[in-house]
Amino acid sequence: MNDMRTIQTSEITEQIKEMCIEANHFLSEDMQACLKRAAEEEKAPLGKQILGQLKENLKIAGEDMIPICQDTGMAVVFLEIGQDVHFEGVPLEDAVNEGVRRGYTEGYLRKSVVKDPLIRENTKDNTPAVIHYEMVPGDSVRITVAPKGFGSENMSRIFMLKPADGMEGVKNAILTAVRDAGPNACPPMVVGVGIGGTFEKCALLAKKALTRPAGEYSPIPYVKEMERELLEKINATGIGPGGLGGSTTAFAVHINTYPTHIAGLPVAVNICCHVNRHTVRVI
């Protein structure tokens, strides 16, 4: 026990609060770089104009402290917890939700969460968050806050393919999801893909793929090749910025893989809009 590091859960609350506000007002540098490059390279005049408006939108958001998008999302929180960390204070889950509550209330963010999926009464403070815990070596905690809007979330898909469908089947599934999403997902999109695992593992791989710095490729050579090829094919669809035609339909395709069962080939496609909000802190 002597080597344990103690972290007060009140510190988690404070960090989450700040991160909710930060992610909804300031785009991460990787996403800003994607937008800047696309605005220079877009071929369609209307597409170029829309990308210019998105750049201006970011400037206004930061200067006036007005959220980038009115859909300030459901708060998705990844906690990678070093196994030598000991928490003190209120339970960790409560601490995270308190951070979300304060961030969304004090930060003038929209409360978009309903308590029950069918009764649909708004919780009025955007809680609860969707929290994913992971135990990792070490004595620090890596927090990722990724508020997720539902224009794009609604266009996400999961495909339980057969092993015989192979590489071509996987590529077709991803392209189908992107084509069906079209203008609904606020393109240019970031496409997060999970391949392998089980039903739920696959979906989680896809969600986590969205938090990878945009444009960074997979370290696995064949996966990197797939990411490049799919990005090219997605941008050839012509869907374009806002779905109003153009050569920029996606900024990036991120694929994560995991071992799977001899009988299966799950593919999850989690689509994100052009802001792809994510912010990371390590404490």
Q: Which residues bind another protein (CB under 8 A)?
A: 43-44, 46-47, 50, 53-54, 56-58, 60-61, 64-72, 108-112, 120, 122, 124, 151, 154, 182-184, 186, 232-233, 236-240, 242-247, 273-275
Report in angstroms how near the CB of residue 96 gets to another protein at its nearest. Answer: 21
Q: What's 114's DSSP letter? A: B
Q: What's the CA gap between 48 and 56, in Å, rounded? A: 12
Closest listed residue to residue 19, CA positions, set 89, 102, 81: 102
**Closest CB to another protein among residues 58, 76:** 58
> Shortest distance, CB of residue 149 to another protein, whole angstroms?
8
To the nearest whole angstrom, how small is the minimum distance from the Cβ of residue 78 to another protein? 23
* H or E element at residue 272: strand 265-272
Closer by beta carbon to another protein, 26 or else 87: 26
Minimum distance between the CB of residue 274 and another protein, rounded to whole angstroms?
Answer: 6
What three-state secondary structure class fits 144? strand
29 or 84: CB nearest another protein? 29
Task: CB nearer to another protein: give 196 or 246.
Answer: 246
Compute how many other C-beta atoms are within 10 angstroms of the C-beta atom of residue 229: 12
Nearest residue (CB) to another protein, 234 versus 268? 234
CB within 8 A of 266, min separation 6: which ones? 158, 159, 160, 161, 194, 195, 196, 197, 198, 199, 201, 202, 260
Q: Cβ of residue 186: shortest distance to another protein, in angstroms? A: 4
User: Tokens 């409560």 appear where?
Assistant: 94
Closest separation in Å from C-beta 227 to another protein: 16
Name, in order, each residue with C-beta under 8 angstroms of 240's C-beta and a sequence gap of 6 or more: 42, 44, 46, 47, 187, 246, 247, 248, 249
Question: Are the beta carbons of 230 and 253 closer than 8 angstroms?
Answer: yes
What is the smallest separation between the CB atom of 150 and another protein, expressed in angstroms? 8
Q: Is residue 161 helix, strand or coil?
A: strand
Euclidean distance between CA atoms 88 and 85, whole angstroms: 10
Measured from the CB atom, is 61 or 205 closer to another protein? 61
Nearer residue to another protein within complex by CB, 69 or 250: 69
